A and B are shown apart, each in its own frame.
Chain A
Amino acid sequence: MATRDWPIKRKLTAILLLISGLVLLLTSAAFVTYEVVTNRQTIKIHLATRSLILAANSTAALAFANEADAAEILSALKYDPHMVAGALYRQDGRVLATYPVAGAADLIPAAPEPDGYRFEGGRLVAFTPVAQGGNQRLGTLYIASDTKAVSDALRLSGIIAIAVLAIALLAAYALAAALQGRISEPILALAETATAVSTRQDYSVRAPKFGADELGSLTDAFNQMLGRIQEQNKELQQHATRLEQRVAERTEELEHRNEALRRNAAELLAANTELDAFAYSVSHDLRAPLRSIDGFSQVLLEDYAAQLGDAGRDSLQRVRAASQRMATLIDDLLKLARVTRAEMRTERVDLSGMARDIVVDIQRTTPDREVEFVIAPGLEAQGDSRLLRVVLDNLLRNGWKYTSKRPQPRVDFTAVEENGNRVFVVKDNGAGFDMRYADKLFGVFQRLHSAAEFEGTGVGLATVRRIINRHGGRIWAEGAVDKGASFYFTL
């Protein structure tokens, strides 16, 4: 594990140990150095003292070149176990005597070296001048001491330093372990809390506070943040709950509506099927008796004309007329029913062209009447062409019918703009109607004129309105008695 990935506890302990270890190490080094330097100084002084004493004692032996005396003097070195070698050199540099007497030749230089004290090859050597009367040099004294005292001191101080270091480090470790908690615990607690928040999404937990220091402030800030998040979370959840509730309510409402719609559709379908069956049976069954009534009346008229007399024949003619009129009524009603249930096929329809076709048809079948039809060009609409033909056919024929008592009958088919909507108008200068009864115009079997005045079943305009409604449009009429009528419709 890289150092930077260490847990904070270990980092703190490591830092404390590193610092205290470094301090202790420096202190120990200073201590050991001091010991060594002091010891070396001490043995140097000892050697110097001994050298001076021996040199003073050696003057006679050198002056007289007395080897036995010289050896005697040097042998005194044996009382100091640190003294490893010694020699007296004459004025000319030749060795007069050595210590120990025989051997140790490798420890004794062949000739004297410059005066002074120095450490050489693990030994302290001293070359001291032997002089008489203070100025006449007689020779040189050499002694060598081992440095065991120094190494002993070094060893001892080293051991002491290591022991102190070890004990101090142990103590430092124990203290660090005990004291790092002050810093690491709040941090660890924060980290633990943060982990709990992020893994469990639990914003209700709070980090414990250990003191009023910076970590305490951090904990406070962290806890405040958590509090705010918790509040916002709560609000969010409340919103979500409300939203869910509303969605559920809406869904339920929609389902209810859907259910109602389905029921309505099913009812409509049933009603349509029923209507279908009804229309079919009307078409077939109601006409059959009419045919019998008309047929047998005709049989009577043909076979028993003489017996019937004028009044009888007239009655039978009326019976026949009535039955034929009823057949027309049935047919018109069936047309109305078909308009209601016919499937719509929406397309672009040329209304002007369609109106012209109808007018041609009207004029062809009734050449005895002269009605001026004025059709605006380019009238178009979106719708079912078959149904729209029924509309135009009814309105134009109405115009044609109700202008029959005018000297200059005229029917117009135009369009006007009203509130941005295109409104088609079929206008005539015929009999018109009383606006008080305008709402009755479009009812089934509702007529504002007697059959004697104008023929009709009262189904035409009802059919027209139904078609317009199926196209999502509107139809209304304006007029006055003897001032003509205008039929407006939108698609």
Chain B
Amino acid sequence: MNPGKILLVEDNPDDVTLTMRALKSHNITNDVIVAQDGVEAIDYLFGTKGRPAPTDLPAVVLLDLKLPKLNGMEVLQRIRSDERTRLLPVVILTSSDEERDVMDGYSLGANSYVRKPVDFVEFTKAAQQLGLYWLLMNRAPPSPRGP
């Protein structure tokens, strides 16, 4: 069984490093693809001129909200409005605790909303649980392009 990949959309390299470490330290060895801004995330999911879209969609997208170029909400909107990625699990993983962001996230079709704890021990726990849940426990929707 192929447990799938994780698409981590995060512009802060520190957060990327810490998230990767948290995931790895709990034996979540899946490929983690990092997109450093919204445009990169969209390009990965839908392909560009030079590089086609991946045959397999990631098992989950961990999406930060405050991103250069396209922000997280815009990325989510694009994902939900495309037939290919309409059902792709998206977890918003952000520093924001704003009610408005939580509301907007769920309104646009996010599957989950997790606030990044400052305490790294807590953060590691959260990342571990997210990885376990979305990669191993959750049954992903059938890929529209898959065999």
Contacts and interface: CB of A to CB of B under 8 A. Distances in A.
Interface stretch (A182-190, A279-287, A441-449): A279-287
A72 interface: no
Contacts of B117: 291
A327 B66 contact: no
A291 B118 contact: yes
Contacts of A291: 14-15, 18, 95, 116-118, 120, 123
A324 B65 contact: no
B14 A295 contact: yes
B118 A296 contact: no
A30 B108 CA distance: 128
B118 A290 contact: yes
Given A294-B119, A294-B120, A298-B120, A288 B15 contact: yes
Contacts of B124: 298
A334 B96 CA distance: 11
B18 to A, nearest CB: 4
Contacts of B116: 287, 291
Contacts of B12: 288, 292
Given A294-B119, A295-B120, A331 B97 contact: yes
A299 interface: yes
B21 interface: yes
The size bracket of the interface on B is 20 to 34
A98 interface: no
Contacts, number: 59
Contacts of B123: 291, 295
A299 B95 contact: no
Interface in A289-330: 290-292, 294-299, 320, 323-324, 327
Given A291-B15, A292-B14, A292-B15, A280 B96 contact: yes
A280 B124 CA distance: 25
Contacts of A298: 120-121, 124
Contact of A283 (B14, B15, B98, B121): B98
Contact of A288 (B95, B97, B120): B95
Contacts of A288: 12, 14-15, 95
Contact of B14 (A284, A296, A331, A334): A296
Contact of A327 (B14, B21, B98, B118): B118
Contacts of B85: none
B94 interface: yes
Interface of A: 280, 283-285, 287-288, 290-292, 294-299, 320, 323-324, 327, 331, 334
Nearest to A323: B118
Interface string B102-127: 00000000000000111111011000
A165 to B, nearest CB: 116
Given A284-B66, A288-B12, A299-B21, A294 B98 contact: no
A283 B97 contact: yes
Interface of B: 12, 14-15, 18, 21, 65-66, 94-98, 116-121, 123-124
A11 B124 CA distance: 122
Q: Which 8 residue pairs across A and B have the least CB separation, nearest first?
A: A327-B118, A292-B14, A298-B120, A295-B120, A295-B18, A287-B95, A284-B95, A294-B120
A291 B12 CA distance: 11
A474 to B, nearest CB: 29
15 contacts: A280-B96, A283-B96, A283-B97, A284-B65, A284-B66, A287-B116, A290-B118, A291-B18, A291-B118, A291-B120, A295-B120, A295-B123, A296-B14, A320-B119, A327-B118
A132 B107 CA distance: 167
B119 A324 contact: yes
Nearest to A302: B25
Contacts of B66: 284-285
Among A295, A296, A324, max chain B CB count under 10 A is at A295
A487 to B, nearest CB: 28
Contacts of A297: 120
A77 B89 CA distance: 168
Nearest to B22: A295
Contacts of B119: 294, 320, 324, 327
B120 A283 contact: no
B105 to A, nearest CB: 14
Contacts of B118: 287, 290-291, 294, 323-324, 327
A280 B66 CA distance: 10
A110 B126 CA distance: 173
A391 to B, nearest CB: 19
Nearest to B12: A288
B92 to A, nearest CB: 12
A334 B95 CA distance: 13
Contacts of B95: 283-285, 287-288, 291
B18 A292 contact: yes
Nearest to A326: B118
Contacts of B15: 288, 291-292
Nearest to B97: A283
B15 to A, nearest CB: 7
Residue picked from B15, B94, B95, B123, most chain A C-beta under 10 Å: B95
Contacts of B65: 284
Given A323-B118, A324-B119, 12 more contacts: A280-B96, A283-B97, A287-B95, A287-B116, A288-B95, A291-B14, A291-B18, A292-B12, A296-B14, A296-B18, A298-B120, A324-B118
